[in-house]
Amino acid sequence: MTIENGFEAAFGTPPDQSGAAPGRVNLIGEHIDYNGGLVLPTALRETVEVAIRFHEQPTVRIKSERFEGAVDRSAGDPSSGDWSDYAVGAIAKAAELGWISGGADIFIRSAVPDGAGVSSSAALITAILRAVSDFANADTNPVDLALHARSVENDYIGMPCGIMDQMAVGLARHGEALVLDTVSLATEIIPIPREWRFVTIHSGIQRKLSDGRYKQRFEECETARKALNAEHLCLLSEDQRRAASQLPDPLGGRVRHVVSEHARVHSAVACMKSVDVAGFGALMNESHQSYSEDFEASTPEIDTMLEDARARGALGGRLTGGGFGGCIVCLLETNDAADWASDFTSRYPKSWIVSV
């Protein structure tokens, strides 16, 4: 059934417009997009699809294949912590931009898991904004659309995320890595070597970024940045790096992760371009160690899973996304990645394969 057919079955009328956006997995470069760093995500095959009908009533009615019934909201509702906030916020942003007036009926189909660190929220917001902009014949481009999507998360949801997720789901394609400078928003597309397989597996540990730990890390980075009188933690001068070494923990650890992670992304880009799979895998392993020890965003269960993945042939592996649960991504050099992933997840009953 197409997304348009799904809308008609749910609401009894055809939609005006449909849109889609993929999930993303960040191969390396975590929690540095709001610190001025270089990041390296790629798009998943899995997408979020939406179909929308617009109307003049100031209401938003949302149906999703993942939930029973419909959610009815006012078009002017503040965020409430409900899953529907992302759709309501996207419609509110579209109205603010003058693309529509009134409200909308929205039908959602998603193959991107929620709370997994693979940008389901950014994909949903982007899919809706993309559909509305197409319907309104808005004069926009993918970068502007990503900035609008980020403002929904920052200003409506209250999540102080950087720009990586929105740029990744808006510009990246499966099989290609997106090199993104999060200060200038300059991008470069690198084909992922054909022999490389990045396997994304949900750890089975659920997490919700709005529970406060992501925001806490953001605030710790901001405190450190201000203490060092720096514009971006990823771009410290030599004097600022020396001063950073004197910061007390946890601030010192946060800066160590941010600075070293930024350097690792530059090295990882070079490894991908030169098809150095061992070098890229080693950088992923170093990235996770930093994420776990200096940034304290992993869990003991995930650390153990990644040790096991490496013991079973993964050249590299790391926790991806905002941290504290969700997905791991592992690098293999084999055509049997699907079999490897199936065998691996069989050892962890709560885990499942997201993408191969």
**Domain with 236 in it:** 197-355
Domain of 237: which CATH number?
A: 3.30.70.890
Do 233 and 103 reside in the same domain of the chain? no
The structure tokens listed for 351 are 């885990």
Helix residue ranges, H only, the chain: 3-11, 85-96, 120-136, 142-151, 164-171, 213-227, 238-244, 251-273, 277-293, 300-311, 337-346
Q: What's the pLDDT tens digit per position in 166-193? A: 999 999 999 999 999 999 999 999 999 9
Question: What is the mean predicted confidence (pLDDT) over 256-282?
Answer: 98
Question: What is the mean predicted confidence (pLDDT) over 114-138?
Answer: 94
Is residue 179 assigned to a domain?
Answer: no
Do 222 and 340 reside in the same domain of the chain? yes
Domain of 70: which CATH number?
A: 3.30.230.10
Integer Cα distance of 260 and 282 in angstroms: 14
Provide the domain count of the chain: 2
State yes or no: is 144 an active-site residue: no
pTM higher than the cut 0.75? yes
The amino acid at residue 321 is G
Is residue 181 assigned to a domain?
Answer: no
Number of CB atoms found within 10 A of residue 233's CB:
25
Is residue 56 assigned to a domain?
Answer: yes
Look at residue 335 in the predicted model and tell me its pLDDT: 80
Is residue 185 assigned to a domain?
Answer: no
> Is 60 exceeded by the pLDDT of residue 209?
no
Question: What is the mean predicted confidence (pLDDT) over 48-62?
Answer: 96
The amino acid at residue 96 is E
Is residue 37 assigned to a domain?
Answer: no
Do 85 and 124 reside in the same domain of the chain? yes
Is residue 322 assigned to a domain?
Answer: yes
**The domain boundary residue, chosen from 124, 157, 173:** 173
Q: What's the pLDDT tens digit per position in 318-335? A: 999 989 999 999 999 988
Do 116 and 203 reside in the same domain of the chain? no
Return left, alpha or beta for 321; rule: phi > 0 is left, psi -120 to 50 is alpha, else beta.
left
Q: Catalytic one among 165, 181, 239, 343?
A: 165
Question: What is the mean predicted confidence (pLDDT) over 278-302?
Answer: 97
Do 11 and 158 reside in the same domain of the chain? yes
**The domain boundary residue, chosen from 173, 206, 222:** 173
